[in-house]
Chains A and B, each alone.
Chain A
Amino acid sequence: MALKILHTSDVHIGMKFNGYPEFIRGELVEARFKALANLIQTANEKECRLFVIAGDLFDKTTIAKKDAERVINILEDFAGDCVLVMPGNHDYDNGMIELWDLFTRKLSDKIVVLNENKVYQLAQTHDLDVAIYPAPCNKKISKANNLGWINELHELPTAALHIGIAHGALEGLSPDLKQDYFYMQVSELEHIPVDLWLLGHTHVPYPDLELVKGHKIYNAGTPEPDGMDCSHVGHAWLIEIDEQKNVQAQRLATGYYRFIDTEEIITDWDSLDRLKQKYLNETATQTLLRLSIKGRVDRELFNQKQALYQELEQSLAYVLIDDSGLGLKITADVIDQEFTAGSLPHQLFMELIAQNDEEALQVAYELVREVKAG
């Protein structure tokens, strides 16, 4: 059977963004709802029959009731046959989570919560000849993944299509050094005779391609970037499977906000201009920038930094600047030019230059300027 699937995960509804100031925090929280709504809209436009959320729809198990209900309303807008929601390690289901109680109580038949280790035969409920093999999370951290029960199946039940859905760190993709997050090896997944694996957990998509053909394993990545460690634009997969089970997938760019955590070096006016061009563009209002500025510049340029920061703050959604690495280019020549030979500052700076302590020199320079300014 031919089937179109929109595959997403790690929406993290309810993420609080505590590290951000109030003015942007609310926007970031809201952006995640919008991202989910946009995904549903895209899925409808692309005429998807299946909408899969491979874990971490919610950021935690303690989500406000109104937020959970809002999510249900968004999901109910899906025009296809079925929405599959599987608990991930953030919104795990250990059988006592009120969130999932509420969620399952309020759901229509269209939405299925995959919180049991069993085969979900969608043919019986949704007119889709698809068997689903979920590996939901029942806790936050686990050395062992939840593929065991699928491995133990002697044979797969009859269905036109077999789709595995799992949440956890994928070998080679996630920086899960301790293998604490339901770690899965590619070979382990390939060994299980399903037609497709739809994964969640790692916030970057897998494979790292725009268009993919004949691939079996997909990781959705988060649809909406959620922090400075998330430098991409947010993704989801639009997967199409034809009658012969040929798989074709298109990576969709889905995020609104863009987080950039970077370092820029300013040495002269040209580098300052380049920096401005880079960030003050048409996507500035969607950009959250954590910028570490480094370099040694002359006084004139140094004095421009506040103007630059102001400009960035006015244009970008959010800017956090660390300019502790930016300083004046303080050399013996500069000191000679700026201070009278034999004067105390002149001697002090020359001594600090001789000590080759750049930081102390910067601090001392600022102190002397402060004294001079009165």
Chain B
Amino acid sequence: MKIKYIKCKKFGGVSNKIIKFEDGLNVIVGANEAGKSTVIDAMFAALFRSHNLKRNTNIGRDFYEKYLPYPDGDSAVVETCFNINNLDFEISKEWGIAPSGSVRFDGKMLKDEGTMTQKLQEALGYGENTFKNIVFARQKDIREALEKISKDEETSAVIDNILKRAVMVLDGISVEKLKKLIDQKLLVYSAKWDLANNRPEGNKGINNPWKRGIGSVLAAYYQKEQLKQDMESAQKVETEFSLLSEKLKAVRARKQQIKEQGSKYAQFEGDIIQRSILESQLLNLQKKAAVLREVYKQFPIMQMELSNKGNELQKLETKAQQLEDELKSADLIQKAQQTKQLLAKVDSISQAIAGKIAEQNKLVEIKDEEIRRLDKLHESMLSAKAKMEAGTLLGRLNKSQGYLVFVTRGLHEREELTEGANLTASGYLRVEIEDGFDLEVRAGEVAFAELKRQYKEAEEELTGILSRLNVPDLAQAKVNHRLYKQLQSDINSLQKQIETLLGDKTVEQLKASIQLEKNLSARDVKEINQDKQKINSELTNLKAEVISLAKTFKEWTDKYENPDKVIDLLTTTLISIKETEAKLQNLAALPQEFRTTEEFLSHLKQLRAAYEQAAKEDIQLTQDYYAIKLPDVSFEELAPLYKEAELNFEKQLAHLHCLLQIKQTLNRKLKELDQGSNEPLVELFSKYLSILTLGKYSVGKLRGNLEVGIIKEDNIALPSTLFSAGTYDCVLLALRFALLEYLFKDKQGFVVLDDCLVNLDPDRKVRAVELIKEYARNNQVIFTTCDPATADLLSGNVIHI
């Protein structure tokens, strides 16, 4: 791209000025206030300022104030032509009272502002700010930006970073400030809000809210939740109130209904009570009359009946007495028969006793001590025998050779022993062979002779006693002893039976008594008793009847004296009945719905109780009704507020998510920028830096190729104070050209430089001029200066203004 000319017909203080530019270096020379800057501004305005620029905007205000011809110009007019890829774009713009604009290119002309702007943007490739910050930038603005970057040592140590940062902040936006602002805003929105769970931090809801440091999302959330609670609470109270009102209304209606019904009945209450009394009286009178009628009728009948019943009673009593006598006779007869039976029984027992005695007499009486003695002797014999038999001797006569062999074994008698016979002897054995051999053998531990003596003595005494008692052995002695005793016991028992049967009487007495009852006669006791029971029952009934009749009769007599008096009384009662009935006629009738006055009065009582109950409920409910405090703001009023709060909360949350997204995008972009290759820009910068320093400095690898820095010929890194060392403007130029080439790449670029050499010493100025010339070799440079010497130094197309 290159500018071919600029025509300032009227623009600020410049009018009717045409400046033509050539390829390569163009130098505009002019004194201060000659209009150099205005021409450059006109060029920028032709490219980027809308001819319809509003006056009431900041840019508009500045523009018109600065560029409408002073003092009375009402319009500014500029024409320019630039060439891109051999195509000319002629731009004409007029601002002010009759704004207009056009772009001509390739035989076409555009006048619509939107189309014009679009076409120009398309042709220029970059927007207004890119041109403003790089192509038209003032040297001092770039210096300021770079100074800011160089203050960050970490960044400035590495040229790569510097270049990146330079690109980043070309629009005057500090990355750190932007990040900080986003973080600040995030905090404003998200403080105490748990983003991950989309709820308050620590899940502290409206009932336990955070008090301090609340972000706007949480504030909106709390506001929404508070309103929700208020709504729920209002609805609850309103519903409660409504229900209570309904209840109260129902109670009052019930109360009113009861009252009305009660009042209706209450007006009859006096009459009904009176009616109740009179009706009761009437009933009594009617009963009394009935009684009197009956008494009058029954009086003589009863008198007669009472007499008859008395006679009947006498007869029955006589009959009863006869039966009683008969019963006594029957009793005596029965007793005599019993005595007879008793005597027979006594007789029978006496015979049994005689039998027992006869049986006893057949036995010798054995006394208890005799039995004990026999037992003792028997035991003594057994003991002696047992001891003697303790030493048992066994033998066999193997050979006798014809001799007679006799043996005496234990207590046995002497006996002959044959050849081959076996023998057993207890404690003692005596063997005798004819008269020539006599052998006694004893068991050593047994005093056989003594024992045998004991045995024999006991045996003798036992035999003597048994003989005396006329029994063969001890067992029989014991049997006879028990039998004798048994007979004796039976005799005793039978004698006791006789004693019991006779009691204190003797048999003779009993026999005499039987004789006395012989002349008596009577029916069976049972039969007599049956008759007696019947007569007694009749007698009891008759007596009761007579008593009752007598009692009633006495009462009547006491009460009425006689039937005449009864009839007088009846007449009086009947008159009273008529009077009472007349009174009842004058009283209010009992309402049809009641059967009795009691029922009426009971119902009225119930109504009064029900009214009292309803009145109590009314009081209680009324108290409750007035105790309810309706909310100041109703549910209905809160509903839209809640809706708004809900929307606000969503809005705040959406804003927060926007901020988060922006932060993420920004970080990603920064990372991409950090990681992205910056090599072409570095190379360009290196090229221009080398020119600037006559090859003394270039860009090279540092610290093991980890960083790119500016190094000297001897490979020593330029200190970080590079930009404060005086070569600042030169380095700036190198950077700017690098950026220009980087942006426009293969296209022809152009740049407007204000007097960037003014502060350089001659040496650096020469180097800077070389740099500009180098850039101008392939691009267009428009250089403005007030110094003719600088113009001379730069040479190129010098334009005097």
Give a binary string over A32-61; 1 marks a CB under 8 Å from any B CB, 0 the rest. Answer: 000000000000000000000000000010
Give a binary string over B630-641; 1 marks a CB under 8 Å from any A CB, 0 the rest. Answer: 100110010011
Q: Is the interface of B mostly helix, strand, loop or mixed?
A: helix
Asked if B121 contacts A333 (CB within 8 A), the reply is: yes
Q: Does B658 contact A (CB under 8 A)?
A: yes
Interface centre among B252, B634, B666 (most CB of A within 10 A): B666
Q: Does A187 contact B (CB under 8 A)?
A: no
Which among A95, A340, A355, A371 is the interface contact of B181 at CB below 8 angstroms?
A371
Which among A95, A300, A336, A357 is the interface contact of B661 at CB below 8 angstroms?
A357
Q: A138-B249, A344-B178 are in contact. Are A336 and B130 (CB under 8 A)?
A: yes
Q: Is the interface of A mostly helix, strand, loop or mixed?
A: helix
Q: A96-B622, A300-B59, A340-B171 are in contact. Are A363 and B655 (CB under 8 A)?
A: yes
- A contact residues around B182 at 8 Å (CB): 367
Give a binary string over A318-352; 1 marks a CB under 8 Å from any B CB, 0 the rest. Answer: 00000010000000010111111111111110011
- B contact residues around A96 at 8 Å (CB): 245, 248, 622, 625
Q: Does B129 contact A (CB under 8 A)?
A: yes
CA distance A339 to B654 in the complex (A): 27
Q: Does A216 contact B (CB under 8 A)?
A: no
Distance to closest chain B CB from A138 (angstroms)? 7
Asked if A344 contacts B665 (CB within 8 A), the reply is: no
Distance to closest chain A CB from B203 (angstroms)? 28
Distance to closest chain B CB from A314 (angstroms)? 17
Q: Does A359 contact B (CB under 8 A)?
A: yes
Asked if B743 contacts A342 (CB within 8 A), the reply is: yes
CA distance A10 to B433 in the complex (A): 168
| Size bracket, chain B contacts | 35 or more
Q: A324-B651, A344-B173 are in contact. Are A363 and B242 (CB under 8 A)?
A: no
Asked if B630 contacts A343 (CB within 8 A), the reply is: no
Q: Does A18 contact B (CB under 8 A)?
A: yes
Distance to closest chain A CB from B87 (angstroms)? 20
Asked if B669 contacts A359 (CB within 8 A), the reply is: no
Q: A339-B129, A368-B173 are in contact. Are A363 and B249 (CB under 8 A)?
A: no
Q: Does B134 contact A (CB under 8 A)?
A: yes
Asked if A94 contacts B245 (CB within 8 A), the reply is: yes
- A contact residues around B132 at 8 Å (CB): 340
Interface-located stretch among B50-58, B206-214, B445-453, B506-514:
B50-58
Q: A96-B622, A140-B242, A336-B121 are in contact. Are A352 and B662 (CB under 8 A)?
A: yes
Closest chain B residue to A335, Cβ basis: B127
CA distance A96 to B168 in the complex (A): 76
Q: Does A139 contact B (CB under 8 A)?
A: yes
- A contact residues around B172 at 8 Å (CB): 372
Distance to closest chain B CB from A337 (angstroms)? 4
Closest chain B residue to A17, Cβ basis: B637
Distance to closest chain B CB from A304 (angstroms)? 7
Asked if A338 contacts B249 (CB within 8 A), the reply is: no
Which chain B residues numbered 114 to 166 have a C-beta less than 8 Å away from chain A?
A: 117-118, 121, 126-130, 132-134
Q: Does B543 contact A (CB under 8 A)?
A: no
Asked if A344 contacts B245 (CB within 8 A), the reply is: no
Q: Does B290 contact A (CB under 8 A)?
A: no
Asked if B651 contacts A62 (CB within 8 A), the reply is: no
Give the tally of cross-chain contacts (CB within 8 A): 142
Q: Does B277 contact A (CB under 8 A)?
A: no
Q: A140-B242, A337-B129, A367-B185 are in contact. Are A342 and B658 (CB under 8 A)?
A: no
- A contact residues around B666 at 8 Å (CB): 344, 348
Asked if A372 contacts B121 (CB within 8 A), the reply is: no
Asked if B58 contacts A303 (CB within 8 A), the reply is: yes
CA distance A363 to B661 in the complex (A): 10
Distance to closest chain A CB from B409 (angstroms)? 136
| Size bracket, chain A contacts | 35 or more
CA distance A345 to B169 in the complex (A): 9
Q: Does B60 contact A (CB under 8 A)?
A: yes
Q: A139-B242, A344-B669 are in contact. Are A300 and B60 (CB under 8 A)?
A: yes
Q: A139-B245, A367-B178 are in contact. Are A348 and B170 (CB under 8 A)?
A: no
- A contact residues around B133 at 8 Å (CB): 340, 343
Q: Does A122 contact B (CB under 8 A)?
A: no
Which chain A residues numbered 140 to 195 have a C-beta less than 8 Å away from chain B?
A: 140-141
Asked if B662 contacts A363 (CB within 8 A), the reply is: yes
Which among B171, B248, B654 is the interface contact of A343 at CB below 8 angstroms?
B171
- B contact residues around A340 at 8 Å (CB): 126, 129-130, 132-134, 167, 170-171
CA distance A269 to B53 in the complex (A): 12
Q: Does B177 contact A (CB under 8 A)?
A: yes
Distance to closest chain B CB from A287 (angstroms)? 20
Q: Does A364 contact B (CB under 8 A)?
A: yes
Q: Does A127 contact B (CB under 8 A)?
A: no
Q: A62-B630, A95-B252, A339-B127 are in contact. Are A345 and B673 (CB under 8 A)?
A: no
CA distance A351 to B671 in the complex (A): 14
Which among B127, B185, B238, B637 is the interface contact of A140 at CB below 8 angstroms?
B238
Q: A352-B665, A370-B181 are in contact. Are A363 and B127 (CB under 8 A)?
A: no
Asked if B641 contacts A360 (CB within 8 A), the reply is: no
Which chain B residues numbered 166 to 214 have a C-beta less than 8 Å away from chain A?
A: 167-175, 177-178, 181-182, 185
Closest chain A residue to B50, Cβ basis: A300
- A contact residues around B174 at 8 Å (CB): 371
CA distance A348 to B662 in the complex (A): 8
Distance to closest chain A CB from B610 (angstroms)? 21
CA distance A338 to B54 in the complex (A): 18
Q: Does B728 contact A (CB under 8 A)?
A: no
Which chain B residues numbered 585 to 626 have a C-beta less than 8 Å away from chain A?
A: 622, 625
Q: Does A19 contact B (CB under 8 A)?
A: yes
Asked if A344 contacts B662 (CB within 8 A), the reply is: no
Distance to closest chain B CB from A174 (angstroms)? 14
- B contact residues around A300 at 8 Å (CB): 53-54, 57, 59-60
- A contact residues around B242 at 8 Å (CB): 139-141
CA distance A303 to B132 in the complex (A): 22
Q: A139-B246, A336-B130, A367-B181 are in contact. Are A372 and B173 (CB under 8 A)?
A: yes
Closest chain A residue to B239, Cβ basis: A141
Asked if B118 contacts A333 (CB within 8 A), the reply is: yes
- A contact residues around B178 at 8 Å (CB): 344-345, 367-368, 371
Interface centre among A19, A94, A355 (most CB of B within 10 A): A94
Distance to closest chain B CB from A152 (angstroms)? 16
Q: Does B268 contact A (CB under 8 A)?
A: no
Q: Does B48 contact A (CB under 8 A)?
A: yes
Q: Does B547 contact A (CB under 8 A)?
A: no
Asked if B127 contacts A343 (CB within 8 A), the reply is: no
A-B contact list, 8 entries, CB within 8 Å: A19-B640, A19-B641, A335-B127, A338-B127, A339-B130, A340-B132, A344-B178, A357-B661
6 smallest beta-carbon distances between A and B, as pairs: A336-B127, A337-B127, A340-B170, A300-B57, A344-B168, A337-B128
Give 16 new A-B contacts, CB below 8 A, not counting A96-B622, A341-B130. A140-B242, A304-B57, A333-B117, A337-B48, A338-B127, A340-B130, A340-B171, A341-B127, A342-B743, A346-B171, A348-B662, A357-B661, A364-B658, A367-B181, A368-B173, A371-B181
B interface residues (Cβ-Cβ under 8 A, vs A): 48, 53-54, 56-60, 117-118, 121, 126-130, 132-134, 167-175, 177-178, 181-182, 185, 238, 242, 245-246, 248-249, 252, 622, 625, 630, 633-634, 637, 640-641, 651, 654-655, 658-659, 661-662, 665-666, 668-670, 672-673, 743
